[in-house]
Chain A
Amino acid sequence: MNNSDEYCKPGEFKPIDLLAAAAAREVCDGDVVFAGTGLPMLAITLAQHEQAPNAVCIYEAGSIDGRPLDIPTSVGDARCAHQASKASGLFEAFYGQLHSGYVDLGFLGGAEIDKYGNVNCTVIGDYNHPKKRFTGSGGNSDISSFAKRTVFIMVQEKRRFKEQVDYVTSPGWRVRKWPSGEWVPKQELYQSYFKGGVSTVITDMAVFRFDETGEMYLDTVHPGFTVQDVIEHVDFKLNVSRVSGQTLPPTKKQLALLYNVIDPEGIFLP
């Protein structure tokens, strides 16, 4: 195995490898992480091998602090519960862990996002007469409501980064208060339940973060892309005043971990 901390050069890694490495960097040591299947699993496991050995993973189906030997394809997989501290259920995961305030970091995906981090994973078009139907919320809304930080991993397309998403499945920093429909800051609606919110969006082109007012800004651009490329793939006026540089590529050690240790069967990494 290549244990070098040297960064890979262009051509030495695939886009998904960089996504996994960028997502892994969002994990702090000791974090209690709520993760879904796929990339989030690769990211949390990679982080546990590196800077966050004490990070704990909860899967929403009910396994708590599991230490899977083989990467799961479902959060309900038997693999998730291997060496877990507890094999519980959704009630424990969503209320005993999330609602009660233990969860530091959530990893989620979505189909559309707006500049306040409101995410849609339910329908495209008018909800009453949809053009396309996705999976629906699952734990997406709950995790984005209650995790102290939430990282979204998404595909960068103009039609997905919208002024207003077609359906708000998961709350961002400005949300609507029903039944009036009035837009209010998340803190105002959640009051004593407020714990935090969307912190980062990682796409196949860039990394975005949120400023003090809860508005999205461009932080880093992945190797091979420019700030202009990103602007052209966002359908709202993007704040590019805080760009800090290029997203770091994965290291040789990270690549070796991903392919040889974390996903040797080639389930998520082809």
Chain B
Amino acid sequence: MSRPEKISLKEAGALVHDGDLITFSGFTIWRRPVAICYELIRQGKKDLHLFEVQGGYHSDLLVGAGCVKIWEGAWMGQEMLGKIGENLARKQINGEILVDDYSHGHTAGRLMAGALGLPFFPCALAMGTDIFNPEYDQLAKAGLRDGNHRNIPAQKYVMAEDPFFGRGECALLPAVNPDVALVYAPIVGDEGTVRVLSQSYNDAEVIKASKKVIVICEEIVPDSHLRRDPAANLASGYEIDYVVECPWAAHPTGSQFYYDSDGDFLKNYNRTVRDQKAFDEFAEKWIFGVDSHEEYLEKVGTKRLGELRASPIMGYSTRVKRGTR
């Protein structure tokens, strides 16, 4: 058993290598490890293979910046703040990226199999859809299912008869074990115990399935404090390899009981980045044009951050203006 090592954002970025299969915590616009994604872009990572249950701002950024070669997942967008992952859509159409589609249930199942150390996950979800159409298996079409790529299974799925109860066919989906998990959690103990403060999404499976786990957090607290209520904790310290303390690391996505998702920022992003030039300008302003995360926060501004700060009672901001009335 070992405790996670405390490192800086820059050091964390250097632990991700070109060509790695990486995955993330969070859900669309909540609890995404954004600060480390900015850092990966600044460090010029290449050929990343993303596997995610669903993507959002963090991964659309990596795609836009040209860091990604393969994207496997079920969904990409900003929910009501922008219904499409603009960069992924553009680069798939241009043929600049390989996209392999699954359903949410499929991706969650593949990750769970990886987390449990099982070779595959059986389920009957989304049968009869084009997700199973062999003509649309992009990784096979690109010749990547030849057994020579350590992170790409030899088949997208196998349909199998139930050998025990005769319940009919269902799909066996290959496990996924990413090289690196990039996880944002609000609170980590000084021995590495991880706590999230609301829905847990796929965060526990992301941690268990991955070979190297980097957690970016708002604050590190004494583990003894988190151990007073073990039922509230997500993961044990020995499952975590590295911790980075970095307040507001999820901005513009939200972190329950710390800050709301930044709706205006995300809407503006999605409206802006519809061509590569506009994305590059956005990246210049918000990623390359700042030297550190602190400088990024200064650019967002204390007024904006103040509005986003969550009410400790409600868990979200009661001050930020969201609608038209």
Binding site for B on A (CB under 8 A): 37-38, 60-63, 69-70, 73-82, 87-91, 94-95, 98-99, 122, 127-142, 145-146, 167-171, 175-179, 181, 184, 186, 189-193, 263-268, 270
Contact = CB atoms under 8 A, between A and B. Distances in A.
Contacts of A184: 128
Contact of B132 (A78, A122, A178, A267): A178
B325 A135 contact: no
Contacts of B260: 78
Contacts of A266: 323-325
Contacts of A145: 124-128
A183 B132 CA distance: 14
Residue of A62, A74, A263 with highest tally of chain B CB at under 10 A? A74
A270 B324 contact: yes
B105 A142 contact: yes
Interface string B112-149: 10000000000111111111111110100100000000
A60 B125 CA distance: 14
A89 B30 CA distance: 13
B74 A99 contact: no
Interface of B: 26-31, 53-54, 73-77, 79-81, 83-85, 88-90, 92-93, 95, 101-106, 108-109, 112, 123-136, 138, 141, 159, 167-170, 198-205, 254, 256-257, 260-261, 263, 310, 314-316, 322-325
A265 B323 contact: yes
A61 B199 contact: yes
A127 B136 contact: yes
Contacts of A142: 103-106, 125-126
Contact of B108 (A94, A135, A171, A264): A94
B315 to A, nearest CB: 4
Contacts of B324: 265-267, 270
B93 A76 contact: no
A178 B156 CA distance: 12
Contacts of A170: 126, 129
A89 B199 contact: yes
Contact of A76 (B29, B74, B129, B136): B29
Given A62-B199, A130-B93, A267-B322, 12 more contacts: A61-B27, A70-B316, A76-B79, A78-B256, A89-B203, A95-B109, A122-B130, A133-B92, A134-B89, A138-B104, A263-B323, A265-B322
Contacts of A91: 108-109, 112, 202, 205
Contacts of B54: 138
A129 to B, nearest CB: 8
Given A73-B79, A138-B74, A62 B200 contact: yes
Nearest to B75: A138
5 contacts: A74-B29, A78-B310, A90-B201, A98-B105, A266-B324
B64 to A, nearest CB: 14
B129 A89 contact: no
A76 B167 contact: no
A82 B75 contact: no
